[in-house]
């Protein structure tokens, strides 16, 4: 859970011709662009937007990123396929960063969850407990993530995590209560344990014993799917407000 990859920036305009045939041609191009924009504006606020796919971001760590798996086998991709198979129009972006903690997720929240996002699945905390981070720190970060998302009118599904057993019962009590408390106080959808049914099954985990195999991801998707369906329904309800 400690590897991170960053997408390279792409600069627009490199290699494009400096001229398209002089001023007359430029005027024609400008007129075409203005006409296209004029046609697009009504669609943005009308039936096209209301009927379009629900835009979801999966904000998490390596369990979301799909460490050790091809991109099409990672949790966001498989969940999107499962929801589409149910007849739901969705687009799920993978905002998983390997090694990320709750504080790390908060630090990148604004650019990981772009404008236009309607729902977020928050899956953070596994690395916090592996590192023995004070549960108060994790709680504060997740509280702020939830506060910002709700302030933007974004529906939230909070995926919980269990504490590492070697940290003792007091730590486990304080850590695991974070998720149920946040969900209850903020009317969030809650999936209590992201790795439910997978964490203790060697056949569903990679050799490190921490990250699910492709079959393990499918098991997670099957269990969380009803909550994801509720998340889509909440996001669609918000469109009508």
Which amino acids are annotated catalytic?
A: 62, 208, 211
Cβ-based neighbours of 77, under 8 Å, separated by 6 or more: 66, 71, 92, 94
Q: Give CA 16 to chain center in angstroms.
A: 34
Q: What size, in residues, is the chain?
A: 241
Between CA 218 and CA 96 the distance in angstroms is 17
CA-wise closest residue to 101 among 80, 77, 127, 70: 127
* Residue 204 DSSP symbol: G
Cα→Cα distances 159→46, 178, 199, Å: 33, 11, 14
204 CB neighbour count, 10 Å cutoff: 19
């Amino acid at each position: 859970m400690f590897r991170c990859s960053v997408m390279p920036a792409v600069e627009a305009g490199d290699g494009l011709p400096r001229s398209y045939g002089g001023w007359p041609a430029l005027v024609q191009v400008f007129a075409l662009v203005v006409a296209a924009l004029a046609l697009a504006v009504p669609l943005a606020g009308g039936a096209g937007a209301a009927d379009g796919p629900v835009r979801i971001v999966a904000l998490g760590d390596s369990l979301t990123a799909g460490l050790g798996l091809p991109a099409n086998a990672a949790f966001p991709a498989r969940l999107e396929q499962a929801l589409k198979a149910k007849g739901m129009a969705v687009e799920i972006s993978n905002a998983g960063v390997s090694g990320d903690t709750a504080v790390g997720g908060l630090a990148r929240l604004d650019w990981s969850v772009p404008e236009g996002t309607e729902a977020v699945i928050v899956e953070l905390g596994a690395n916090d407990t592996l590192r023995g981070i004070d549960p108060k720190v994790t709680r504060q970060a997740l509280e702020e993530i939830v506060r910002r998302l709700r302030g933007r009118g974004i529906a939230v599904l909070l995926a919980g995590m269990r504490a590492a057993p070697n940290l003792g019962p007091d730590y486990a009590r304080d850590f695991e209560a974070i998720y149920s408390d946040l969900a209850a106080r903020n009317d969030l959808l809650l999936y209590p344990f992201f790795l439910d049914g997978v964490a203790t099954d060697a056949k569903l985990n990679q050799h490190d014993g921490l990250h699910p195999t492709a079959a393990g991801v499918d098991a997670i998707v099957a269990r969380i799917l009803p909550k994801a369906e509720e998340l889509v329904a909440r996001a669609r309800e918000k469109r009508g407000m």
